[in-house]
Amino acid sequence: MQNTARHPANSIRRLIKRDWREWLVFLAFAGPNVALFAIFTYTPLINNLLLSFSDWNMISADKNFVGLQNYVDIINDSQMGKVLLNTVLFTSSSVLLVLLLGLGGGLLLNQKLRGRNAARSILFTPNILSGAAIAIVWIYIFDPRFGLIYTVLKPLGIDSPKWLTDPNWALPAIVIVYVWKYLGYATVIYIAGLQAIPGDLYEAARVDGASAWMRFRHVTLPGLSPVMFFLILTSILSSFQSFDIINVMTKGGPVNATNTLIYRLYELGFINFAIGRAGVIGMVLFVMMFAVTLLQLRYLDRQVSYA
């Protein structure tokens, strides 16, 4: 028995048999996940590209190939400039505010203070709440005749802006809600980043007589840079995808003042049934998010390699 087991051919055969088992286990464990992605991510991405070259209204049996016509239509679409501008304004202002306010909050809440953990959790709470629910509460807060802001401003003799019906105030209103929801996330990440900076660095800087500003400039900021990078990218991604707040609060209005790429995609696809042009917007969004995610993955890889 022992002799045959040691025979090279036999042991190779056993190894192959064991390998086959391992492969089957692998397929059983990872297969369903990958299969679902094949059906609901990879294939639809290609289908979306094909749809963007076709003229279709979702109901008709004809799906005509129209080449780049939808792309030309989107470029010539008078709304498109406004939509892109809104997307850039919304993303840049909300990301900037979340990053700066979050940094301030993170620095201040990172000290040994009573109630610090409670404050951190309170600040984080909006992040886990339904965007639709938050949007509804804020419509009531912004209500120019009965809302919270009206109630605060009234004793001061100031009129409340007509937030959601005024094209000049609607986008700032959406930014406020977005920042309110995501500020706590940034703060929590900043605090974690601050705690990962070795205390010796601060000690050494103190011994060298560095002022508070210099310690911030030369120890804190460089120490936080990877976390900041992570936050910039995740915030950009989540603001691109911010659909629920806009759909509930303004439906892209008034007069397209809050119409962003993600809302325009929904509007073209599921309200106007212009599937081809919705496909074009989908490809634009994909290319933008693909670029941001690639950057993020490079960051994650770097983190892992020296963790």
Residues 252-281 that bind other proteins (CB under 8 A): 262, 265-266, 269-270, 275, 278-279
HSE (CB half, 13 Å, CA atoms) of 182?
26
Distances (CA, A) of 300 to 90, 154, 231, 305, 306: 26, 49, 12, 9, 10
Span 181-210, contacts to other proteins by CB under 8 A? 184-185, 188-189, 191-193, 196
Closest C-alpha among 37, 66, 72 to residue 53: 66
Distance of CA 18 to the CA centre of its chain: 43
Residue 166 CB, nearest approach to other proteins (Å) = 16
Distance of CA 70 to the CA centre of its chain: 27
Are the CB atoms for 181 and 129 separated by under 8 Å? yes
Span 135-174, contacts to other proteins by CB under 8 A? 135-141, 143, 146, 148, 150-151, 154
Span 94-133, contacts to other proteins by CB under 8 A? 104-105, 108-109, 111, 113, 115-117, 119-126, 128-133
Span 2-21, contacts to other proteins by CB under 8 A? 19
Instruction: State the number of binding residues for other proteins (CB under 8 A).
Output: 103
45 vs 255 by CB, closer to other proteins: 45
Distance CA 75, CA 291 (A): 21
Residue 45 CB, nearest approach to other proteins (Å) = 5
Closest C-alpha among 87, 259, 240, 249 to residue 163: 249
Q: What is the DSSP letter of 34?
A: H
**Part in contact with other proteins (CB under 8 A); list of ranges 65-73, 85-93, 165-173, 233-241:** 233-241
The beta strand positions in 146-278, using DSSP E, are: none
23 vs 65 by CB, closer to other proteins: 23
6 vs 114 by CB, closer to other proteins: 114
Residue 126 CB, nearest approach to other proteins (Å) = 6
54 binds other proteins per the rule CB under 8 A: no
Give me the torsion for CA of 185, 188, 189, 192, rounded to 10°. -170
120 vs 218 by CB, closer to other proteins: 120
Distances (CA, A) of 108 to 36, 45, 191, 226: 44, 44, 9, 20
Residue 85 CB, nearest approach to other proteins (Å) = 20
7 vs 211 by CB, closer to other proteins: 211
Among 91, 240, 258, 259, binds other proteins (CB under 8 A): 240
Span 213-232, contacts to other proteins by CB under 8 A? 227, 230-231
Are the CB atoms for 259 and 252 separated by under 8 Å? yes
Are the CB atoms for 203 and 74 separated by under 8 Å? no
